[in-house]
Chains A and B, each alone.
Chain A
Amino acid sequence: MIDFHTHPVMIKELVDSDPELARAVRDVFGLYMPPQPLVTFLDEMTEAGVDRAVLLPLDCTTAHNCRIVSNEAVAELAAKHPRFIGFASVDPGARNAPKELERAVRELGLCGLKLDPAIQRFAIEDKDRAYPLYQLCSELRIPLVMHCGLSWAPSGLARLARPILLEEVAQAFPELRLVIAHWGWPWIDEALMLALKYRNIYLDTSIVYSGMPVDTLQKVIADHIGCSILEASLPNQVLFATNYPRVDMRRMVRGIRALGLSPSTQEKLFEGNARLLLDRRVSG
């Protein structure tokens, strides 16, 4: 099982050694819990039945003068612990962003890109700053996880993160494999429409707004969208994801299992789709 959406923001070994990171996690990311030893993260995965987790950093140098975990730190974690799959983040506001992305992939061995227009404060449709990154992701054959919808970060602006803004991107970059994080909630229908039309658009299940995960996932996926739609049209485009540590993995896994999806769709959602998306960049 692969969790496609986790944040390495509560790891004591990282946060305690870097006061600037501690400030960024608190003031920019908006997480106020004390950090936990790295082993807690790994044990949480084990307890939930999650084999591997994608680590998503965030470079918000232009917007907030910080990096919420550096690419180097993510690469180091992934190198030390093969259960982690490290993604990069670059600041679209920085002129050297494409160069930094290329370095993060080719030299640090990171497997994808994370962008968050709500926190990084950039326009998804910005042809000068964002499009070169989309182009590079296509060329490097790495997936792009784009935060969409509600941002729990104190300064996050959800209006910058509407899924519908990605339609032109999907058309301009048909080779780009683009993950709409959080299924774009509350704009789940926009996200659904895009995934139905564009086969290079993926949806992640880290829908976190209220209620127990088992209830939330039931309401959004089963009652609103319909499991039959997922089974018929999207079995290859939905990725299991939690948004840990905004919510625990154990209860998210149980919430997905409670949907009663077919064994084949569950296998794809929990692991198969992620493996294909990562394009054999991860093994084991």
Chain B
Amino acid sequence: MMKSIIERLGIQTSHETELINITETVRDLVANSGVTSGTALVLTLHTTTAITVNEGLADLEDDIIAALERLVPAEHTYRHARFLHSDGQMAVNAPSHIRGALLGMQVMFPIENGCMIMGARQTIYLVELDGPSFRNVVVQIIGA
């Protein structure tokens, strides 16, 4: 019988920009879900974070951060640089939003025999782009 399971992860980030490896957590959720055939969707609920997949190496993590900072510089004139009345805060994080838009908010993996099909070097990252903050990630496991 087809089922859909929603799991919510709360993650405390510590830095303005960082890649946090959440692969094992997602794998465990899939393994414990009882779903043997289906898909796992991993998505962030924020617009200044991203979900991405890459090789889990510290040097690549540094390179990705450096590339994002080059592509979307902190020091630039952005229109999103004003008091946001709906928040009661200054909105001065346009670079964080734009970097998030470049990376995307979700990834999906197939599930076969109760495990995610992943490349040997693939690592799932929550990418913090405006931390430190408490972040929410949702994992939806769909299948039978």
B residues 75-95 near A (Cβ < 8 Å) are 75, 77-78, 81-83, 86-90, 92-93
| Residue A232 interfacial (CB < 8 Å) | no
In the bound complex, CA of A119 to CA of B95 (Å): 33
Q: Are B14 and A47 in contact (CB under 8 A)?
A: yes
Determine, out of B26-34, B51-59, B108-116, B129-137, the stretch whose residues face the partner at the interface. Answer: B129-137
Whether, in the assembled complex, A272 has its beta carbon less than 8 Å from a beta carbon of chain B, the answer is: no
Q: Which secondary structure dominates where chain B touches chain A? A: loop
- Identify which of B77, B83, B90, B134 gathers the most chain A CB atoms within 10 Å of its CB: B90
Q: Which of A32, A44, A215 contacts B86 (CB 8 A)?
A: A32
B74 touches A36 (CB 8 A): no
A1: CB under 8 A from chain B? no
Which residues of chain B have C-beta atoms less than 8 A from A209's C-beta? 83
What is the total of A-B residue contacts with beta carbons within 8 Å? Answer: 73
The answer on a CB contact under 8 Å between B89 and A31 is yes
Instruction: Give Cα distance in the complex from A214 to B78, angstroms.
Output: 12
- Contact present for B89 and A33 (CB under 8 Å): yes
- Contacts of B75 on A, CB cut-off 8 Å? 212, 214, 258
- Count residues of chain B with CB under 8 A from any CB of chain A: 24
Residues of A near B130 (CB, < 8 A) are: 248
Digitize A1-40: 1 where CB-to-B-CB distance is under 8 Å, 0 elsewhere. Answer: 0000000000010000000000000000111110011011
A32 and B130 CA atoms in complex are apart in Å by: 18
Q: Give the contact-size bracket for chain A.
A: 20 to 34
Cβ-defined contact, A212 with B88, below 8 A? no
Q: Is the CB of B89 within 8 A of A245?
A: yes
When chains A and B are docked, how far (Å) is the Cα of A5 from the Cα of B82?
20
Contact A208:B16 (CB < 8 A) given known A37-B134, A40-B134: no
A215 contacts B88, C-beta separation under 8 Å: no
Smallest CB-CB separation from A30: which chain B residue?
A: B88
Task: Tell me which of A33, A37, A254 contacts B87 (CB under 8 A).
Answer: A33
Q: Please give, as numbers and ranges, the residues of chain B lying within 8 Å of A36 by CB-CB distance.
A: 133-134
Q: Smallest Cβ distance from B82 to chain A, in angstroms?
A: 5
Q: Judge whether B89 and A247 touch: CB under 8 Å.
A: yes
Q: What 6 additional pairs, Cβ within 8 angstroms, besides A246-B89, A248-B90?
A: A40-B12, A40-B133, A43-B132, A47-B14, A213-B92, A247-B92
**Which 4 A-B pairs rank lowest in CB-CB distance, beginning with the nearest?**
A43-B132, A31-B88, A247-B90, A30-B88
Q: B residues bordering A, Cβ < 8 Å?
A: 12-16, 74-75, 77-78, 81-83, 86-90, 92-93, 130-134
